[in-house]
Structure 1
Amino acid sequence: MYQQYSVADTFGVSAPASMTVEGFVPANNPFVPVQKPYVFRREPLRDVLAFFRNPNGDGLYITGPTGSGKTSLVEQAAARLHWGVHAVAGHGRLEFNDLLGQFVLTGNGTMKWTDGPLTSAVRHGHVLLLNEIDATDPAELLGLNDIVEGKPLMIAATDEVVMPHPKFRLVATGNSAGAGDQSGLYQGVMRQSVAFMDRFRLMEVGYPEPDDEMSMLERTVPTMPLSIRERMIQLANEIRKVFIGGSDSSGLLSITMSTRSLLRWAQLSANYKGSPNALAYALDRALVLRGDAAEREAIHRLAQDVFGSDWQV
């Protein structure tokens, strides 16, 4: 049922040959995420694997800016360990009972209980991944307090008591760290209960380093000239700086260049290769058309500064 995986070989990172992590034997589990090409960063991976190995009665809360790879880190680590994942998107109308399950009508007219993502993860030893958890009503999340600590899951509708599988893990992601959004960048973020947050260990994931994003671009568009890829990454980081804000700019953009958007831009640029304005045309469709007129102009000005004569609109 379980097997040891070499950290170095499985995740493509520098690690001692003797360093392993326990996962599941491949078994065609439909809840295991699809494995995709992925560049793991050493520090975030270390924290996730340490949590998978031994949560010590904690959940794992991953915070960081939008598009920094919080969700993909967990899913791709689980994919390589053949660990099932139940991903749920947080929102203001999400209720605890949605996570537990519900009765559904069968073909013969009877009612049958169907496990929700929480119950299924607890029962089978999967990861419950609550994305954008800080957009959820904190009162609805209090029902998770006991289960994070390893206590049985009580299903009142069926009077069933589900003992947590030893491999059950609870991971949450959020753009804030549970204390609300102080930056004003994220709509709908709610301050979470201190008692709930106290049940999590925290880790922060920022945008990848340029070398890591370069590795991703090399895999995505291997024929693109190095100088173009370097400047694409430079522009992405300039956009992120303006989005986040700082001493020179205070969140002047409402959109940002995630790694996902960067790779989309590169792919579209390759598709439109040969057009006189391929980079600009692709950037608009990858990101810029989500902004208003002033934001579009600001991003194109940044691009002109970065690319110089290679930038044509």
Structure 2
Amino acid sequence: MTNVNTTTNITVEEVQAALVQEYTSQKFEKVMVHELFGLSQPLPGLEQPIPVPVERHPLAPKVQDGYVFNEKLLRRTLLSMRTRDSIMYVGDKGTGKSSFVQQLNARLNRPVININAGPGVDESYLVGCKTIENGSVKAVDGVLSYAYRHGLTCLIDEICTLRPGVLVSINDLIQGDEVVTLKHHGIDPSLDPKMLMGLNNGMTLVRHPAFRLFATDNTGGKQQKDPRFSGVNNQNSAVRSRFTSMKVGFMPADKELAALTNTLKGGVVENVHLAMMVEFAFRFRSAFEIGEAFDNISFRELRRWALKMEVYGCIHESFMDAIYGNMEQSDQLLAEHLFEETFGQRLILDDVYTMSCADQLDAIKAITAAAA
């Protein structure tokens, strides 16, 4: 594929036309949205079929059979994609923010490139830099600028763990400007100022019509006191304003049960046990909402519990390893109480949780006395 973004002696308008021509030259099929996403009824505003590339893109995520979509979130996302919005999904851990983006693009057959943010991700990682190759200076893309140039979907997970200054530096890309000047590459002092917007100087980036930017975060870059999310940075409000921010919560109980059931498929775990697992999760989440618990229970953890139940064959051992072991001590006490309320039986824990060193001392004293 010719990189029309860096071809010399060509105008921005010609690059944009070439990108559109390149993208639309693919073979598409028209698909009803609700059928594509496994829904029973059309979504308001999305009653007409949409084009989906026929040939599977190698960077498109794998479709997860039985994935359950949040219909309202899906509708707002698809409509926002029409206007090329950058979208940030904000919500508690394990609410399915990243998996939603992956499965959305899997159904649309859109290529995705993913970034796991953190304090080590800098501007050059996102939008590139200049390097030396074979004795010559060469401009190279970062992950985000490459996606911008070639029409990939870019997903930045935990975006607010980036240093605030890094996000500010890519405001024009988040905003979705049609033409971006990569000033961080430096300016050739011999270059005529009239040529700064030319495409032969290695500084100009033209947005591909298929590019979309998604991000996920627990706090959305807002001020927060929750110690669970230490390491998350407060972000500039001007940066946040460039995103369409969508709140992602836990799925309704019936959909969470359906997703859990679809995860297993083996039939080893009885439906009544799966239903009680979901009930336990919502009991604990309710306690968290009113401040009785330190942490929440994510669907990720719930899914791990079900999978371990399928392998272990024991509701107690599977809960102990999938949920209980990661909890704060105060939450463990609450979990034992809610487990008994939900399952009608006391939680049976391994000795390492129930037997103290004093108990062991008493046991060895008894053994010693019997042997004397």
TM-score normalised by L of structure 2: 0.73
The question of 1:20 aligning with 2:60 is answered no
Identical counterparts, % of pairs: 28
The 5-angstrom pairing of residues 97-176 of structure 1 reads 97-102=124-129, 114-147=140-173, 148-155=175-182, 156-157=184-185, 159-176=202-219
Match of 2:272 among 202, 211, 227: 227
Match of 1:263 in 2: 303
Partner of 1:87: 114
Deviation string 1:148-175 (CA, Å, 9 cap, x unpaired) is 2323233443723120001111111111
Deviation track 1:219-275 (CA, whole Å, cap 9, x = no partner) reads 2234222221111001111222334x32xx35x323x321121111111101111xx
Please report how far the alpha carbon of residue 144 of structure 1 lies from its aligned counterpart in structure 2 after TM superposition.
2.1
Q: Which amino acid aligns with 1:30?
A: P
Contact 1:48 1:74 in 2 (8 A): no
In 2, Cα distance between the equivalents of 1:117 and 1:21?
28
Q: Does the aligned pair in 1 maintain the 2:339–2:346 contact within 8 Å?
A: no
Distance of aligned partners of 1:176 and 1:23 in 2 relative to their CA distance in 1, 3 Å threshold: farther
Which residue in the other structure is 2:361 paired with?
none
Answering whether residue 282 of structure 2 is matched by residue 237 of structure 1, we say yes
Q: Aligned pair count? A: 300
Question: 1:70, CA displacement in angstroms?
Answer: 0.8
Structure 2 unaligned segments of length 5 or more: list them.
1-25, 186-200, 350-372
Deviation at 1:207, TM superposition (A): 0.4
Residues 63 and 103 in structure 2, CA contact (< 8 A), matched pair in contact too: yes
Q: Distance in 1 between matches of 2:142 and 2:230?
A: 27
The 3 A distance-change label for structure 1 pair 65 and 12 is same
In structure 2, what is the equivalent of residue 5 of structure 1?
Answer: 31
Partner of residue 30, structure 1: 58
Is residue 309 of structure 1 aligned with residue 345 of structure 2? Answer: yes
CA distance change for structure 1 residues 221 and 310 in 2, over 3 Å: closer, same or farther?
farther
Q: Which moved more, 1:280-289 or 1:161-170?
A: 280-289
CA RMSD in angstroms, aligned pairs only: 2.4
- Contact in 1 for aligned 2:139/2:202 (Cα 8 Å): no
Query: Structure 1 CA distance, aligned partners of 2:336 and 2:48?
Result: 47
- 1:114-166 C-alpha deviation (Å, 9 max, x unpaired): 43220221112111111111222111101221122323233443723120001
Alpha-carbon shift at residue 30 of structure 1 (Å): 2.9
Q: Supply the distance in 2 between the matched residues of 1:60 and 1:45 (Cα, whole angstroms).
A: 12
Which amino acid letter does the alignment assign opposite residue 69 of structure 1?
A: G
Choose which of 213, 223, 233 in structure 2 pairs with 1:190.
233
Residue 40 (structure 1) aligned with residue 83 (structure 2): no
